[in-house]
Amino acid sequence: MFERLEDGHHGLSIVRGTTPDGGRFTVHEQGAHITEWTPAGEEPVLFTSAYARYEPRVAIRGGIPICFPWFANGRKDNKSPAHGFARLATWQLLEGRENNGVTTLQWRLDPTMIPRLDGIDPDRNRFVLTCTQTFGTDLQVSLRIHNTDEVPLVVEEALHTYLRVGDVRQATVLGLAGTEILSRRTGTWDTQIGPVTFAEEVDQIHWVSSGVTELHDPALGRRIIQTATNSSNTVVWNPWAENAAELGDLGDDEWTEFVCVETANVRNKAIHLNPGQAHELDLTIAVAPL
Ligand code: TA6
């Protein structure tokens, strides 16, 4: 069961629903942004800040922001707003349907829907971005970009997933051992040895070939398993105490409660699409006991 609530949350429109087994989800139309997913019998899987701002054209801290058509400030580090305009735009709900206990929502964004913001050139290549979200015992998210223009299109993309943990200091991310890493803090390259652990700020891009990561969370006694297809990068981020204190939309201790493990195609792995071509990024998130 789901319902669309016009201006339903601090003046922003949302779709919220439940699955027959008792799961819950919420999606803000701004950004087609999943802000809650709680499968039946589980703690919420996604972290959303208690201090998140719910305002037009302001990014929501938590959930699954969609970064598009650039990541951070872009490949040349000269773009704003950070992480592109898709998370600031109001998407169109194309379809919502329920089938066998799962709810599927399909959203659409094209350049006519881009918000007027500083740094955004409204005269852009034509494209159609479609996001399909399926809420059941797992969560599936597909992001499809179709180049509907007559010239090539190059874009970066990320599903900037904030995963909720009991205590980041005990958490580890498996599945990235042996990958090349670019630290966004220092600009240096390295190779990941063993699981990713958290004892200070982590902000790094991994170049991946396998799309499966597991976030182990001893404090909540669970694993969050993400399986990605057509993704060449995984970004791992936790701001740690000092940086978190500078984020006005994050509580003092909230940095301990999440890890971002992001499914992405960025930098030299940006998506190149000739006229008429399309690319689909797929992610499944599942939860299991540790
Ligand atoms: O994906 C990691 C990252 O780019 C970090 O560097 C950090 O800035 C984070 O995303 C959050 O970005 P935001 O623009 O949402 O504050």
Q: Which domains does the chain have, with CATH numbers?
A: 2-289 (2.70.98.10)
pLDDT band at 54 (very low <50, low <70, confident <90, very high): very high
Residue 250 pLDDT > 80: yes
Does the pLDDT value for residue 64 go beyond 90? yes
Q: Which residue has the higher pLDDT, 115 or 175?
A: 175
Query: Is 161:35 a contact under the CB 8 Å cutoff?
Result: no
- pLDDT, tens only, 177-229: 999 999 999 999 999 999 999 999 999 999 998 899 999 999 999 999 999 99
pLDDT averaged over the chain? 96
Residues 6+ apart with CB under 8 A from 151: 125, 275
| Nearest-atom index, ligand 1, CA of 239 | 7
What residues have CB less than 8 Å from 54, skipping those under 6 apart? 9, 10, 11, 12, 28, 60
CA distance 145 to 172: 32
pTM more than 0.95: yes
pLDDT over threshold 80, residue 278: yes
If you average pLDDT over residues 45-69, what whole number do you get?
A: 97
- CA contacts within 13 A on the Cβ side of 111: 14
Contact assessment for residue 279 and residue 271, using Cβ atoms and an 8 Å cutoff: yes
> Taking the chain, what is the end-to-end CA distance rounded to the nearest angstrom?
30
- Structure-token pair, residue 168: 């980041």
pLDDT above 80 (res 119)? no
Instruction: Provide mean pLDDT across the span 89-98.
Output: 97
Residues 27-39 have a mean pLDDT of: 98
Closest-lying ligand 1 atom to the alpha carbon of residue 160: 1
**How confident is the model over 115-121, as a mean pLDDT?**
77
Q: Is the CB–ligand 1 distance for residue 257 below 6 Å?
A: no
Cβ-in-10-Å burial (0-12, 13-18, 19+) of 221 comes to: exposed
pLDDT category of residue 122 using cuts at 50, 70 and 90: low
Sign of torsion over alpha carbons 189, 194, 196, 202: negative
73 CA → ligand 1 middle, Å: 10
Confidence of residue 129 (pLDDT cuts 50, 70, 90): very high
Tell whether ligand 1 has an atom less than 6 A from the beta carbon of residue 59: yes
Neighbours of 142 (CB within 10 A): 18
**Most ligand 1 atoms within 8 A of CB, residue of 237, 259, 263 to mutate:** 237
Say how far apart CA 87 and CA 81 lie, in whole Å: 10
105 closest CA partner among 140, 61, 138, 137 = 140
> What percent of the chain clears pLDDT 70, i.e. is strictly above it?
99
Q: Categorise residue 40: left if φ over 0, alpha if ψ from -120 to 50, beta otherwise.
A: beta
Task: Give the integer Cα–Cα distance in Å for 115 and 57.
Answer: 7
User: Is there an atom of ligand 1 within 6 Å of 4 CB?
Assistant: no
Q: Is the CB of 201 under 6 A from ligand 1?
A: no
* Dihedral-angle region of residue 116 (phi above 0 means left; psi in -120 to 50 means alpha; beta otherwise): beta
Structure token pair of residue 4? 């669309």
DSSP 8-class letter at 90: B
